[in-house]
Structure 1
Amino acid sequence: MIELAPELIAFLVVAAVAAGFIDAIAGGGGLITLPALLAAGINPFSALATNKVQSSFGTAMATWSYWKAGRINFALILWPLIATFIGAGLGTAAVMVVDSSWLMVVLPGLLVAIALYFLFGPKASDEDAHARMTPLAYSSVAGGIGFYDGFFGPGTGSFFALSLVTLLGMGLTRATAHTKALNLASNVVSVAVFALGGQVLWALGLTMAAGQVLGGWLGSKAAMRFGPRLIRPLLVIICLAMVARLLSDPENPLRVWASSLLG
């Protein structure tokens, strides 16, 4: 493990608590922890690997909290879980050989669309609605989102939440709970691949994991207490924050294209 000052480690743990809280409700906690790891001077690949490890603990805690409260039906999402696991494995393998730059063009538009849906679309409540798909049919969607998570990642929680609400007819809090379980399945694959690559800073990752676990527990409790009143606005904010983060990259194809037009 690289040598970090105690106050810097403390800062990263606090960042992990905040990220775990947000992740348990709306996803997007990486917007906090990944920049924090990079700011600490950790190389990008190790930062990605370590971030995935520590965030997995927060996702696991949130999943456990939702399950203990009776909000997750694992029998219902058995096939989607398997499909997510397989999809994430294929996506992680594909990222090594396929150019992912096109996602930087498509993803901001998708995230804005999700934000607009939760902002102006039918108000997602905690009441279950009519399912448009069976869980088995939904497996194809879950596998695709899992592939995306292994291949790229940002916005995965938002994609799961939206699809569970619109396709399986889940209430928003129930959809958020099942999102954590599906996201955990995809995270397990990514962590395994990163571990095999030897890029994980285990001591730092496990230290931050303690903060993630606390944040995940607090976030899941808050989501179950306040429901859509808290989840919906956070989903909108996180989606738009991810758009801003993606477009802040000077090498984003959209920014390059806009600069060429203005230039």
Structure 2
Amino acid sequence: MSTSPPPPPPSSSKPQATTTSSSPSSSSQPPAPPKILENDPARTGYDPSLKWYFNYFKILTGQITPEGIEHYREDRYKVHEARDCAKCEADRDWLFRHSPVVRFLREKTAALNGQLDETNVVCRRCPGRIFDDGTVLRQSGGFSPDHGIVLCANEFRNRGHLEDTLAHEMVHAWDHLRWNVDWMGGKDLKHAACTEIRASMLSGECRWTRESVTRGNWTLTQQFQNCVRMRAIQSVMARPTCRDDVHATKVVNEVWDSCFSDKRPFEDIYR
């Protein structure tokens, strides 16, 4: 892995999808890719020429649409980019020194002649994408085999969230060094499905406390397996060779038993 900053990565922590409006489709043909929306104050109510606190008041009083709120959020991320990246870098450096899972994965990556440090684990602002079908896609990080790991500084709630994301991407890095993963699925999406299962399983992002407190999922039975499966499916769907959610689910199911039981380089699931 080189030390130059990563481009938009081929593998990312689970995209966070939210809905700003409903747009049902009854067509039997595959839908055209949704268009990315630019802000129109006449449509959204959000006027970037106003002071932020005027727009914030408009949000509180219901004068800005859900789409407009997302545009407002993106603009505030731009304003706070330097602050967010500085905080991300400080947390990253702390985790490299003190986090057991991050230190362990760093050592195991080094044993495969890989290097992960501040030169190729970088913090950046990651723009969200707002589509005309009502969805908003965000990500908290990504891995590029040619460049390293990008951490999306504007998306982290706290250091624990960053730790889960960094561990997720470090599992991808270890997998790539160990098996030379076909990330884009040009030959076989099973590679991508397997590494996504393993990254969600081993990083700690699907542990019950995070699912319950952060996402409001208080299910006790099969919660962990369901979370890993869901996140793997969503990540596989982001590959250009994946046709739809049915295709992604099929591929994940095909590799589930072998990949969910593969805990390397750990001996067990500790998070």
TM-score range, shorter chain: under 0.3
Structure with greater Cα Rg: 2
Superposition TM-score, scaled by structure 1 size: 0.27
- Which structure: greater strand fraction? 2
- Which structure: greater helix fraction? 1
Higher relative CO (Cα under 8 Å, sequence separation at least 6) belongs to 1
